[in-house]
Copies of this chain bind each other. A is one copy, B any other.
């Protein structure tokens, strides 16, 4: 009998984005993505998507260059948190506890082998909507905005990594994430791997950094309820002068309906919709795509746009 798999990470809680223009990035998330500003602290502005049960969804932090800051992962239980902290420490990647993260209890800080900052926690503050954002239906976190991209929640983070294989071993061996799809180079090395920690088909993704750099971001993704939300968002971005990089279209890999834009700070942001697709199989067999298959482009024939392979944040000259 195989050792029993563990599911100690419940989901990705929030992500921090660095931006040289924090107010403009804030306006992007608030005005166009339909989030609400909930907090400011130091160089950071916290924004909340309407159905996020936690206190915030994105932490926008002013920095000289765009990029991804810390990704926060919620553990499935206090016991699960303890186990993962032990495993991370055993891997030599931990850097101790933080007690003062907004909206979160104690967070154990660490980095993946590629240097992306992460944190894992269990205790969290529930979002309590102020009167003007209190929803009519009590089973949602706050009022339905019905505007712009109308983002319901954070979906996933896609990192660029110098060594995708090493990052992947950390994901599976230390965090217990499960690879659901991957692209394999002709030499057998992984070009990209999609990892799931829950029933979503992916939560964290590693793509090979074409510059061999470490710790960069390919994109952060946010979920809408419908594909129509994404089509409408495309018009909203057009009117707002936001750079639409590619889409709307459907990925062959993972079959996500997508739209990619660059927020004013330069980070690539995906709007995504998976329909009713979930990974329910506890023993899902990873789907492998070859380089030749990937070169065919997206599901309905769209060729992958050049910048998709050349733009990451921070931008490196």
Contact = CB atoms under 8 A, between A and B. Distances in A.
A87 interface: no
A295 interface: no
A316 interface: no
A274 B223 CA distance: 13
Contact of A239 (B143, B225, B302): B143
B5 A77 contact: yes
Contacts of A274: 276
Interface in A250-265: 250, 252-255, 257, 259
A280 interface: yes
B282 A77 contact: yes
B139 A253 contact: yes
A239 B146 contact: yes
Contacts of A282: 10, 74-77
Contacts of A74: 280-282
A278 B200 contact: yes
Oligomeric state, in copies: 4
Interface residues of A, number: 80
Interface in A230-259: 231-239, 241, 244-250, 252-255, 257, 259
A249 B248 contact: yes
A238 B276 contact: no
A159 B75 CA distance: 32
Contacts of A257: 231
B136 A278 contact: no
Given A78-B1, A225-B275, A144 B236 contact: yes
A53 B281 contact: yes
Q: Which 4 A-B pairs have the closest CB atoms?
A: A225-B275, A147-B147, A228-B228, A146-B236
Given A4-B80, A146-B235, A274-B276, 12 more contacts: A1-B78, A4-B77, A5-B76, A137-B238, A140-B255, A144-B238, A146-B233, A147-B147, A153-B278, A155-B276, A229-B232, A246-B301
